Amino acid sequence: VTISPFLDPGPRTKAHSLAILQLSRDNLLPVYLQPPTGEHDGYAEGAVVNTRYGSFPHSTMLNVPWGSQIRASKVDTGSRGRKRKRDGADDTSREATAAASEKESEGPGAVAVATPTKENGGAPSVKQAVADSSGFIHILPPTPELWTTSLPHRTQVVYTPDYSYILHRIRARPGSTLIEAGAGSGSFSHAAVRAVYNGYPSAGQRKGKVFSFEYHEERYHKMKQEISDHGLDGLIHLTHRDVYNGGFLVDGRSPQADAIFLDLPAPWEALPHLSRRRPPPSLWPSGAPPPGLDDPTKEWISPLHPRKTVHLCTFSPCIEQVTRTVSAMRRLGWVDIDMVEIANRRLHASRDRVGLNLVNFDRGVNNSAKDVEEAVTRLAEIEARFREHAAKARSRAAGAAAAAAGDVDMDSDDENAGEAAANGNAPRPTAEEEEEIKITTNRLPPWMEGRLITRGEPEIKTHTSYLVFAVLPMEWTEEDEAKAAAKYPVGQ
Ligand code: SAM
């Protein structure tokens, strides 16, 4: 059984598996590694990834430890490769397009574009690529986080700062059953499946699973293909459906979900389906249940777990959507409703030695430097003074040690120490001096290295939507009450 590389990538890269190429800090390229089994797309080396950092035959990226640095290679492009570039034929993959636009700017002689996809197989290594150290990249195992930054966008996606918080709040954990709608580009789905994955559960335990719904046909098919390419069949169950009308049952049966995430334009239209009991007509947005659910004599099958509390999150960009969602939640019995907006910022923190604040530095006296020159001069003075103190303290300590050994060095330049040592009564360095020695002989402690400054990175990607959380408690039955009463008798 092959485990998805998202769940267990193993120690090394593998053929036919997804890898994320890190070209630069925020420039990631997903690639399906092809085995070197023949000429490929005009390249004698087999499949090749071209970037502005050089050409990288797949053969050089196979069976290497994840995280390895891969050096660029000289590749035999041949005339066919160049022709392909001009025609743009078959260059439909995202990575091919990205690489093509990068290479276009490099003028004549730029190499052609490979089209590495999972379907198109590989090519034998007719000629070994020649190492050329002009550039390098790193090869990383696929993770939901890396996939989110590199995936082909078909819709707005949920980014890591949001989904990490959402999954925590809806208590998605190994063994959970999570309902998600709509699937969109699958960014959330990948993080969700990792959160609920519980390997091979023992008897009686449920397998963690994501039930995902998407009504846009093309997105549904692309997502279905990705689930299969990523080895996630059986862990993400994708259904092509409009959940406002069709609800969340799968083949007429309940997924028995205990965690739900709705990334839909109108969550209030989906909410009545997520009820334990048939909602009265007035609680459906149109005043009546959708067709198929309008026969009150038919059994109501809830998609929720019958014996668990259910945690729900909806994701909406406008406050008007939030208001309607919260109103529907309240009327449908959801409790603990609250709204959160994630405002994630990456902060670059450093010490500003130039604007050094000497308040703490110079023993609590408020004498902050007025300008750079003064700060530097004062720093030099203070460091010199520390060195002098430390030398004295070291000398005293040495004198004490010598006295203890009965060997007094009368040439010591610290007369007091020498005298004291001669009396067999050498003073130990004071605590303050000990501290100064530490400061002088080691590097300065961080709080002395300058004012702490932080700079925000405003370009961080997030969707900035409002997250509404709610809880539907487990239904408490007479039987539960009897059991509880037996276990914890009242008044005894
Ligand atoms: N959460 C996704 C991700 O992280 O990639 C993005 C979801 S995208 C913003 C919203 C998706 O909901 C779209 O793909 C849209 O087609 C789908 N959708 C909208 N209304 C729907 C409905 N009634 N039933 C099912 N899917 C729906």
Check if the beta carbon of residue 254 is closer than 8 Å to that of residue 304: yes
| pLDDT value at 36 more than 80 | no
- What pLDDT does 290 receive? 95
Position 153 pLDDT exceeds 80: yes
pLDDT attached to residue 394: 77
Query: Is the model more confident about 287 or about 46?
Result: 287
At residue 353 the predicted structure's pLDDT band, cuts being 50, 70 and 90, is low
Quick check: 324 pLDDT over 80? yes
Give the position, in ligand 1's atom list, of the atom nearest the Cα of 216. 16
pLDDT band with cut points at 50, 70 and 90 for residue 258 = very high
Local structure of residue 216 (DSSP, 8 states): -
Ligand 1, atom nearest to 184 Cα: 14
Tell me the helix, strand and coil percentages in the chain, rounded to 5. 35, 20, 45
* Per-residue pLDDT, 97: 37
Mean pLDDT of 315-340: 97
Instruction: Please tell me the distance from the alpha carbon of residue 305 to that of residue 474, in angstroms, as a whole number.
Output: 9
> Is the predicted pLDDT of residue 159 greater than 90, yes or no?
yes
pLDDT in tens, 421-443: 444 444 555 676 666 555 544 55
User: Is pLDDT larger for residue 194 or for residue 51?
Assistant: 194
Residue 409 pLDDT > 70: no
Question: pLDDT digit string (tens) for 222-240?
Answer: 999 999 999 999 999 999 9
Q: Across residues 176-203, what is the average pLDDT?
A: 96
Reported confidence tier of residue 39, pLDDT bands at 50, 70, 90: low
Q: Which range among 118-122, 286-290, 459-463 shows the weakest confidence by mean pLDDT?
A: 118-122
CA dihedral 232, 236, 239, 243 (to 10 degrees): -150
Phi-psi region of 125 (alpha: psi -120 to 50; beta: other; left: phi over 0): beta
Q: What is the dihedral of CA 77, 82, 87, 88, to 10 degrees?
A: 50
**Range of 38-52, 94-108, 247-261 with top mean pLDDT:** 247-261
CB burial of residue 236 (10 Å; 0-12, 13-18, 19+): buried
In whole angstroms, how far apart are CA 467 and each of 44, 171, 191, 261, 263? 51, 15, 17, 10, 10
DSSP bridge partners of 155: none
What's the pLDDT at 458? 62
The whole-angstrom separation of Cα 213 and Cα 240 is 6
Inform me whether the pLDDT recorded for 118 exceeds 70. no
Q: Enter the tokens of residue 100.
A: 């093509």
Can you tell me the distance from the alpha carbon of 53 to that of 134, in angstroms, rounded to the nearest whole number?
7
Tell me which of 45-49, 89-93, 155-159, 183-187 is least confident: 89-93
**Cis ω for the linkage preceding 292 (within 30 of 0):** no
pLDDT class for 314, splitting at 50, 70, 90?
Answer: very high
Cα distances (Å, whole numbers) of residue 178 to 105, 238, 308, 360, 409? 46, 12, 13, 53, 79
Mean residue pLDDT of the chain comes to 79
Residue 368 pLDDT: 54
In this predicted structure, what is the pLDDT of residue 489? 86
pLDDT (0 to 100) of residue 103: 35
Does the domain at 147-341 match CATH 3.40.50.300? Answer given as no
The answer for residues whose C-beta is within 8 angstroms of residue 237's C-beta and 6 or more apart is 209, 210, 211, 212, 250, 255
Distance 288 CA to ligand 1 centre (A): 24
Q: What is the pLDDT at residue 77?
A: 57
State how far the alpha carbon of 485 is from the alpha carbons of 206, 476, 481, in Å: 29, 13, 6
| C-alpha of residue 94 to centroid of ligand 1, in Å | 22
* Minimum mean pLDDT range among 52-66, 330-344, 359-373: 359-373
Burial class (CB in 10 A: 0-12, 13-18, 19+), 127: middle
Residues sharing a CB contact under 8 Å with residue 44, sequence separation 6 or more, in sequence order: 75, 76, 78, 125, 126, 127
Task: Tell me the average pLDDT across 152-158.
Answer: 91
Q: Whose CA is nearest to atom 7 of ligand 1?
A: 184
| The ligand 1 atom nearest the CA atom of 243 | 24
Pocket test for ligand 1, best of 188, 216, 248, 249 (most atoms within 8 A of CB): 216
Residues in the chain: 492
Residue 63 tokens read as 């069976």
Nearest-atom number in ligand 1 for the CA of 182 is: 12
Residue 403, pLDDT score: 73
Distance 231 CA to ligand 1 centre (A): 22
When pLDDT is cut at 50, 70 and 90, the band that residue 389 belongs to is: confident
**Nearest residue CA, atom 8 of ligand 1?**
184
- Residue 355: band (very low, low, confident or very high) from pLDDT cuts 50, 70, 90: very low
- What does the buried/exposed string (b/e) look like for 328-342 if buried means 16 or more CB atoms within 10 Å of the residue's CB? bbeebebeeeebeeb
Average pLDDT over residues 32-58: 80
Cα of 155 vs centre of ligand 1, distance in Å, is 8
- The whole-number pLDDT of residue 385 equals 75
Which of the pair, 20 or 409, is modelled with greater confidence?
A: 20
Determine which of 71-80, 215-224, 420-429, 483-492 has the lowest per-residue pLDDT on average. Answer: 420-429
**Reported confidence tier of residue 334, pLDDT bands at 50, 70, 90:** very high
260 three-class SS: strand
Mean pLDDT of 254-261: 98
Which whole number is the average pLDDT over 127-145? 76
Report residue 110's pLDDT band, with 50, 70 and 90 as the boundaries: very low
Return all residues near 405 (Cβ < 8 A) that are at least 6 apart.
none
Query: Which phi and psi (to 5°) does residue 5 adopt?
Result: -60, -20
**Is residue 352 scored above 80 in pLDDT?**
no
ipTM over 0.95: yes
- Ligand 1 lining (C-beta closer than 6 Å): 155-158, 181-182, 184-188, 213-216, 219, 242-244, 263-265
Give the amino acid at 419: E
- In terms of Cβ atoms closer than 10 Å to its own Cβ (0-12, 13-18, 19+), residue 297 is exposed
Q: Tell me which of 46-60, 110-124, 453-467 is least confident.
A: 110-124
Q: What is the best residue among 214, 218, 220, 244 to mutate for testing ligand 1's pocket, by most ligand atoms within 8 Å of CB? A: 214
What pLDDT, on a 0 to 100 scale, did the predictor assign at position 287?
Answer: 95
Domain boundaries, the chain: 18-142, 147-341, 349-456
- Sorting pLDDT into bands at 50, 70 and 90, what band is 43? low
Query: What is the spatial distance between Cα 163 and Cα 349, in angstroms, rounded to a whole number?
Result: 25
